[in-house]
Structure 1
Amino acid sequence: MSKSIKNYWLLSGAFFTFFLCWSFSFSLFPIWLNQYIGLSGELTGTIFSCNAIAGLFVMPCYGYLQDKLGLRKHLLLFIGVMLIAVGPFFIFVYSPLLLSHFYLGALLGGVFFAVVFGAGIGALESYVEKVARSQYFEFGRARMWGSLGWASATFFAGYLFNKGPDINFWLASLSACVFMLLIFLLEPLNEENSISTVPCSSQRKLDLKLVSGLLLMRKFWAFVIFVMGVTCIYSVYDQQFAVYYSSMFSDQQKGNAMYGYLNSMQVFLEAGCMFFAPFLVNKIGAKNGLILSGFIMALRIIGSGLADDIVMLSIMKLLHAVELPIMLVAVFKYITNTFDTRLSATLYIVGFQFSSQITASGLSIYAGIMYDKLGFSTSYLILGGIVFIFTLISFILLSSDKPSI
């Protein structure tokens, strides 16, 4: 087996186990906060805001560090160690603190989750994208296994939650052990042997001056506007959707289980779409891929506000399976087509994830207040309208690119 094929399967497995860990921990996180800890919508929004704010401090560090490390895996090994601690943290630290000292627990949890998941996923995705470019395989094909991992865990998470939430947390740590082993076995190419898409005339060592130069680029801020007005709303919308969905069932435990099954179905469909997304984005171009995903997102959120039964609400949820693969593939292709590829991790983690987090950190609390006072339906109509407007603005501001085929 060639090194490229071996690395593809190891990184695909890393995605699978990372998302297993993440899903066991967070797919029912809002339900856990609402039903197990007993938090209101506003306090749940505070939790998500703390998670987002903490990510603001960690993400830029991860982005710059990963670009400096290149194809070296030191940062991923550190993330693997932290992932293994997820189960004990939830059970012995986070849960007791939320019940006895809420704000201390929210703050500590925000920092821990930012290090492990919030910034960790960006580091993993940007690392795999670098290896994919150097070893000639599509990032989307490896990322597909992450969706399968999330779906596999979510399928059982609702049932296991009803048996006891701690089961999911222990399974998260077990998944993390496998992740750590896969990263340890990884054999990436040496940096000097990798394929670079940066013209030789522009080659120079990555430094803070080169990174800070992004702040003077109109193209960078156009990309940030898209992220802050479109992608961050999707994360805010999803934060308490599980609470809304399960509340539509007369039996709370049935609602929890059904949401787990629906989420699992959505992510299995997402994995299939992730396989085909590179074909579509290569055909229509990265900018058009971003715009298309934005309009699908607006339709999904507004449709959730208009849905008046479980079937329609479920269909709106499943649209996420189409939207996310297109957006994720388009984001990386837009970055590599528009900016210096040596900054790909910085651009993805700071330009995409950090910008999303900085907006979500403020919006999460207000969204929680809206859910409590206006209800979920009205709140979704407002959020969906914001996404629609910013997608139209981004159509004008984002740089055009030629399709790959």
Structure 2
Amino acid sequence: MQNFLMKALRNPFYRAGSLEILLFFAGWGIWWSFFQIWLTTKQGFTGAQVGTIYTFGSAVALVLMFVYGSIQDKLGLKKYLLMVMVGCQVLLAPFFTWVYVPMLAANFYVGAMVGAVYLSVAYLAACPVFEAVTERLSRRYSFEYGQARAWGSFGYAMSALAAGFLFTINPYLVFWTGSAVSAVLLAILVLLKPEKREENIQRYENCEERNKATKSPSFREIISVLGIGDLWRIIIFIILSWTFYTVFDQQMFPEFFTRFFPTPEDGQQAYGILNSVQVFLEFVMMGLVPILMRKIGVRRALLLGCLIMVCRIGGCGLASTPLGIGLIKLLHAPETALFVLAIFRYFTLHFDTRVSATLYMVGFQIAASVGGIIFSVPLGSLRDTIGYQHTFLLIAGIVLSATLYAFFILKKDDTDVAGQPLEA
């Protein structure tokens, strides 16, 4: 592992891509990790109202992600779209302080929709673009995507740890810190350009990937991905699996965990520490999973991630102490690394890599957004009625069914290889 990392750090494209994705997740995680707690404890919204906010966000992100994916596939490795999104992220604190909160107080549904538009433009639809660009950079300039994506988890972990303390001092500190981190990221995107040095190109560029990128996909080719039957089978799988990762982790778990502590402040600090440890472990797993995938294959890695998700969500429905719940929550680390890296590699293995951003948006991120629209409000209302833990057990049952479905529909690694073959 150490040799892999040292070799990667010598690559200026790896350093640039890792730094950019680290700062993006740090600027997002500093406030997003406490967003559900902020909505319930500071703004006083019910589970159904929180579900409505997440549903609106998922609906707007659903449309925007397809637009972003299409634009980025046309741009290739150019980062103009990233700069626009990060420019919006810099406005996070002013938006939350002077626009979002007053609008939610004046008219909840109008405020929720305006917030959904901003959050989708700046963050919800931006996350997969950063991941897609980093993955494309990794293929073009000879580094491992998982090891670069790991730094995003590291940035999120550090932010979550800091957020646990900042939030208890003043909740708005997390938003202002997010704006500051985004300002640094914008400067990095504008100034850090390793591709401007010819010696970097000659040493690290993959000529085969460069030749593939010389002909950017037409709009018709991008749209044509919607007619791929295999993609729709993946979409059904994602709706019934990764959707519930999002609903469970973002909409339910934070406030559920803090209830096990004598005061909200104690719970919020404990959650910040737990979230940080969990995502730090995710950072480690992001570096190890690519090695594991070479041993067991992409399909098996994806199925393993699903099984861990079932155990994690179901375990939280059975555990009754904060220690037990915290230990189970740490299974998030291998689960996320296996699922995210394996699904991305599945797309680049079995589909045309020139439309990888669109495929990732439609087949993974948009599919999860559709699931969020379908399930966020009903599950929020169900949580209000039967409680968190019974809801978790129901979610675990649905994900188990999705895992069985995936066993039959996922292609084997040596079947229909239309993209980049697995390494020998």
> Normalised by the shorter chain, which TM-score bucket?
over 0.9
| Structure 1 residue matching 2:84: 3-state secondary structure | helix
2:384 is aligned, of 353, 362, 372, to 372
Code of the residue aligned with 1:248 in structure 2: it is F
Counterpart Cα distance in 2 of 1:80 and 1:203: 27
Q: Is the 8 A contact 2:74 2:216 kept in 1?
A: no
Code of the residue aligned with 1:319 in structure 2: it is L
1:212 is aligned, of 201, 223, 231, to 223
TM-fit CA distance, 1:209: 2.2
Partner of 1:229: 240
2:253 is aligned, of 231, 241, 261, to 241
Partner of 1:400: 412
Q: Is the 8 A contact 1:287 1:334 kept in 2?
A: yes
Partner of 1:346: 358
Code of the residue aligned with 2:403 in structure 1: it is T
Is the counterpart of residue 312 in structure 1 residue 324 in structure 2?
yes
2:375 is aligned, of 363, 375, 378, to 363
| Structure 1 residue matching 2:240: 3-state secondary structure | helix
Q: Is the 8 A contact 1:150 1:267 kept in 2?
A: yes
Q: Is the 8 A contact 1:158 1:261 kept in 2?
A: yes
Partner of 1:154: 160
Counterpart Cα distance in 1 of 2:270 and 2:300: 35
Instruction: Summarize deviations over 1:36-91 as a string: whole Å, max 9, x none.
Output: 11101111111111111110111000000000000111101101101101111111
Counterpart Cα distance in 1 of 2:310 and 2:20: 31
Is the counterpart of residue 290 in structure 1 residue 296 in structure 2?
no
Q: Is the 8 A contact 1:71 1:189 kept in 2?
A: no
Counterpart Cα distance in 1 of 2:208 and 2:379: 43
Code of the residue aligned with 1:344 in structure 2: it is S
Q: Is the 8 A contact 1:225 1:394 kept in 2?
A: no
Label 1:86 to 1:9 Cα distance change in 2 as closer, same or farther (>3 A): same
Code of the residue aligned with 1:100 in structure 2: it is A
Q: Is the 8 A contact 2:140 2:210 kept in 1?
A: no
Code of the residue aligned with 2:281 in structure 1: it is L
Counterpart Cα distance in 1 of 2:8 and 2:329: 40
Counterpart Cα distance in 2 of 1:282 and 1:370: 41
Partner of 2:23: 17
Partner of 1:328: 340
Counterpart Cα distance in 1 of 2:174 and 2:188: 21
TM-fit CA distance, 1:337: 0.6
Q: Is the 8 A contact 2:285 2:337 kept in 1?
A: yes
Is the counterpart of residue 36 in structure 1 residue 42 in structure 2?
yes
Partner of 1:91: 97
Counterpart Cα distance in 1 of 2:388 and 2:29: 23
In structure 2, the gaps of 5 or more residues are 1-6, 415-421
Code of the residue aligned with 1:131 in structure 2: it is L
Q: Is the 8 A contact 2:76 2:216 kept in 1?
A: no
Instruction: Count residues in correspondence.
Output: 404
TM-score by length of 2: 0.91
TM-fit CA distance, 1:272: 0.6
Label 1:2 to 1:156 Cα distance change in 2 as closer, same or farther (>3 A): closer
Label 1:160 to 1:2 Cα distance change in 2 as closer, same or farther (>3 A): closer
Code of the residue aligned with 1:152 in structure 2: it is M
Label 1:2 to 1:46 Cα distance change in 2 as closer, same or farther (>3 A): closer
Counterpart Cα distance in 1 of 2:57 and 2:285: 29
| Structure 2 residue matching 1:249: 3-state secondary structure | coil
Q: Is the 8 A contact 1:277 1:325 kept in 2?
A: yes
Of the structure 1 ranges 240-249 and 177-186, higher mean CA displacement relative to structure 2 is found in 177-186
Partner of 1:170: 176
Code of the residue aligned with 1:315 in structure 2: it is L
Code of the residue aligned with 1:366 in structure 2: it is P
In structure 1, the gaps of 5 or more residues are none
Partner of 1:273: 285
TM-fit CA distance, 1:329: 1.2
Of the structure 1 ranges 221-230 and 330-339, higher mean CA displacement relative to structure 2 is found in 221-230
| Structure 1 residue matching 2:327: 3-state secondary structure | helix
Code of the residue aligned with 1:273 in structure 2: it is M
Code of the residue aligned with 2:227 in structure 1: it is L
Label 1:37 to 1:291 Cα distance change in 2 as closer, same or farther (>3 A): same
TM-fit CA distance, 1:7: 2.2
Counterpart Cα distance in 2 of 1:290 and 1:368: 28
Instruction: Summarize deviations over 1:185-207 as a string: whole Å, max 9, x none.
Output: 2326599x76445997x996512
Partner of 2:419: none
| Structure 1 residue matching 2:411: 3-state secondary structure | coil
Code of the residue aligned with 2:242 in structure 1: it is T
Counterpart Cα distance in 2 of 1:204 and 1:136: 20
CA-atom RMSD, angstroms?
2.2
Code of the residue aligned with 2:222 in structure 1: it is V
Code of the residue aligned with 1:245 in structure 2: it is F
Counterpart Cα distance in 1 of 2:271 and 2:181: 22
Counterpart Cα distance in 2 of 1:194 and 1:55: 33
Q: Is the 8 A contact 2:252 2:388 kept in 1?
A: no
| Structure 2 residue matching 1:240: 3-state secondary structure | helix
Is the counterpart of residue 252 in structure 1 residue 258 in structure 2?
no
Counterpart Cα distance in 1 of 2:316 and 2:325: 6
Label 1:16 to 1:3 Cα distance change in 2 as closer, same or farther (>3 A): closer
2:188 is aligned, of 182, 207, 217, to 182
TM-fit CA distance, 1:25: 1.8
